[in-house]
Chain A
Amino acid sequence: MAEPAQKDAVVEEIYKKHEKIYPREVHGFFAHMRLLAMTVLLGLYYGVPWLQWDGRQAVLFDLPHRKFYIFDWVFWPQDFFYLALLLMIAAFALFFFTTLAGRLWCGYACPQTVWTELFMWIEHRIEGDRPQQIKLDKSPWNARKIRIKATKHAIWFLLALWTGFTFVGYFTPIRELWHDVLAFNLSGWETFWILFYGFATWGNAGFMREQVCIYMCPYARFQAAMFDRDTLVISYDAKRGEPRGSRKRGVDPRELGLGDCIDCTLCVQVCPTGIDIRNGLQYQCIGCAACIDVCNEVMEKMGYPKGLIRYTTENQMEGKPTHILRPRIVIYGLLLLLFTSATLYGIATRTPLELDIIRDRNTLYRETDEGLVENVYQLKIVNMDEKPHRYRLSIRGLPGMVLDADPNPVEVPAGSVQEETVRVRVDPVELKRASNEIYFIIEAEDDPKLRREEKARFLGPVL
């Protein structure tokens, strides 16, 4: 992919003025798969925020209260670690599947592709297929053209608004949001994000389309680095297809000295990124397999075997054996498994309790009237559980330490944070150093498994 000639083509491609692409509609096995993926993913996106669970929204990234709800799980900012793990899982899943089967993500699952497909599907219903669309765009503005274009944009607009509304519904409870919409009672920021996301959807799926993949997508830029000779890619079998040329049906191409490609250019017409797959693997190809479907149709009509364009590997094309299990795949796969099980294990065994200790900043220590040394601490008890608990506080670390905490035990309501100022006193003879390690322990009265132990420093004079 990095030959100089290719590079020049890339440069030219990047600086070339953009021409609108009118992909022709396709039917066939892969088109069905894409439709299925699109239906499932869009169904999930638009549907999930409406699900209820335990009397609350099942999936809610509650920014105002800084809590993430995913069905039974509640995540706090303290669980940031899991977010990091989740990102690692996503990254390795992407590496794994890209090495295995190329740009599966781009062709079937990327939101850019999915919404573009949806918007194009609407466009096809209203404006007709490729030839009608080209004709319509060339024709002068008249009542009919205005009517068709206005209908399309009105539907796109409503859909984009609904998409923006759904997006915000992941962050503020969607049912309340809907009431606010009906009552014209949205807050400024909610309105702003609905319009912002809606506008982005409309622009990306309606206009930018393949340009997002070609110019803006970071993944599209580096995915080639994960390809090897055994990666499943979509390619044209040049050995079988060339020399290309038109011919009548029923004529034996070998007699005319022709290959199997009838040069109907349908594969170019269906391509959403407007490339010719017959020129070899190109970075613009998003692996949507539209060209496979359409070419198979042509092959069938001509009575030739299918698969002139097909999913294959570089090795297979050259007649060499293809290896599915290769070091990269094994390593990516193992890492993926490792991170996934670590995350699941971590979440399953998580203690929904957190204890933060902050030393009083104003005084290092104080001597009491009784001649004891006293340190003051600010404790923050975070009860991440979905029910209230009473927690008993205790300390250990220095002989004869006294904990002065009121109240103790502390009652912390479900899913909230309780702050408490505590004092710790000790006889100075016990202090061997200026800074000593002590431990705060909290334990729920109704559940000894809900227990946390945190280290703190006790400061005092050295005698």
Chain B
Amino acid sequence: METTHGDHHAGGPDAGLPAIQQVVSVLWPSFLTAGIATIVTFTVFDPLQIAQCMGEPGLTRLGAYSTGFFVFWLFAAASSGLTCYFRRPTDRIRG
């Protein structure tokens, strides 16, 4: 897919994507991953115990679940974003 596309656009595989779709393609898969990670982590560990270890004893469980979810989302998005970034051809980064 990349090769056929690269012929039309000098900018590399992602250059033709509208900005909004690039953002969605990073945020959406990380959202799914974060959801799964949240479920698995918090069935094994009690969020309250984690919150206590991190010195946040005032947190409610719902707050802990939500915060956990967003932290996972952030990490997953960072990873997806880096993948997108590194997939750009080097000449484009130089130029």
Q: In the complex, which residues of chain B have a beta carbon less than 8 angstroms from the beta carbon of A15?
A: 5, 16-17
- Mask for B57-86, Cβ within 8 A of A = 1, else 0? 000111101100000000000000000000
B63, A189: Cβ atoms under 8 Å? yes
Given A7-B1, A17-B18, does the pair A80, B44 have CB atoms closer than 8 Å?
yes
Count, chain A residues at interface, CB 8 A: 25
B90 on the A face (CB < 8 A): no
Contact B43 A77 (CB under 8 A): yes
Which residue of chain A lies nearest to B5 when distances are taken between CB atoms in the complex? A11
Cβ of A193 < 8 Å from any Cβ of B?
yes
With A17-B18, A63-B62, A64-B60: A11-B4 Cβ-Cβ less than 8 Å: yes
Closest-CB distance, B60 to chain A (whole angstroms): 7
> In angstroms, how far is the closest chain B Cβ from the Cβ of A80?
4
Question: A440 to nearest B CB, angstroms?
Answer: 22
A362 within 8 A of B: no
Given contacts A66-B46, A216-B24, A216-B28, A11 and B1 within 8 Å (CB-CB): yes
| Contacts A11-B5, A15-B5; A189 near B17 (Cβ below 8 A) | no
Is B62 a contact of A218 with CB atoms below 8 Å? no
Question: Closest A-chain residue to B21, C-beta based?
Answer: A215
Question: Smallest distance from the beta carbon of A68 to chain B beta carbons, Å?
Answer: 10
8 Å CB contact of B43 from A14, A17, A83, A216: A83
Collect the chain B residues with CB atoms within 8 Å of residue A11's CB.
Answer: 1, 4-5
B17-59 vs A, CB cutoff 8 Å, 1 = contact: the mask equals 1100100110010001000000100111010000000000000
Nearest A residue to B18 via CB reads A17
Bits for A1-36, please: 1 = Cβ < 8 Å to B, else 0.
000000110110011010000000000000000000
Q: Do A8 and B66 touch across chains, with their CB atoms under 8 A apart?
A: no
Number of B residues with CB within 8 Å of any CB on chain A:
22
Task: Write out the residue numbers on chain A whose beta carbons fall within 8 Å of the beta carbon of B65.
Answer: 63
Kindly supply a per-residue 1/0 record for chain A positions 182-206, scoring 1 wherever the CB is within 8 Å of any chain B CB and 0 otherwise.
Answer: 0000011110110000000000000
Q: Which residues of A have CB within 8 Å of B60?
A: 64, 187, 189
CA distance A298 to B60 in the complex (A): 60
CB-nearest residue of chain A to B36: A87
Complex: A278 Cα to B17 Cα, angstroms: 28
In whole angstroms, what is the CA distance A37 to B88 when docked? 44
Q: Is the CB of A187 within 8 A of B44?
A: no
Asked if A64 and B24 make an inter-chain contact with CB atoms under 8 angstroms apart, the answer reads no
Which one of A10, A66, A218 lies within 8 Å of B61 (CB-CB)?
Answer: A66
With a cutoff of 8 Å between Cβ atoms, the chain B residues found around residue A63 in the complex are 61-62, 65
Are the CB atoms of A77 and B17 closer together than 8 Å?
no
Name, among B28, B39, B43, B65, the residue most crowded by chain A CB atoms within 10 Å (CB to CB).
B43
Cβ of A6 to closest chain B Cβ, rounded Å: 12
Q: Give the residue name and chain of the B residue nearest to A190 (CB).
A: B62
Instruction: Give, as a whole number of angstroms, the nearest-CB distance from B84 to chain A.
Output: 15
Which of chain A's residues have a CB closer than 8 A to the CB of B39? Answer: 83
**Chain A residues with CB below 8 A from B66, complex form:** 189, 192-193
Contact residues in A for B25 (Cβ distance below 8 Å):
215
Contacts of B24 in A (CB 8 A): 215-216
Tell me the bound Cα distance from A65 to B1 in angstroms. 48
A218 to B30, CA, bound (A): 12
Residue among A77, A80, A83, A187 making CB contact with B62, cutoff 8 Å: A187
Other than A77-B42, A171-B62, give 6 A-B pairs with Cβ distance below 8 A: A17-B18, A77-B43, A77-B44, A187-B60, A192-B66, A216-B28
B residues near A, CB below 8 A?
1, 4-5, 16-18, 21, 24-25, 28, 32, 39, 42-44, 46, 60-63, 65-66
Interface residues of A (CB under 8 A from B): 7-8, 10-11, 14-15, 17, 63-66, 77, 80, 83, 171-172, 187-190, 192-193, 215-216, 218
Q: What are 13 pairs between A and B in contact, CB < 8 Å?
A: A11-B1, A15-B16, A15-B17, A63-B62, A64-B61, A66-B46, A77-B46, A80-B43, A171-B62, A172-B62, A187-B60, A189-B63, A189-B66
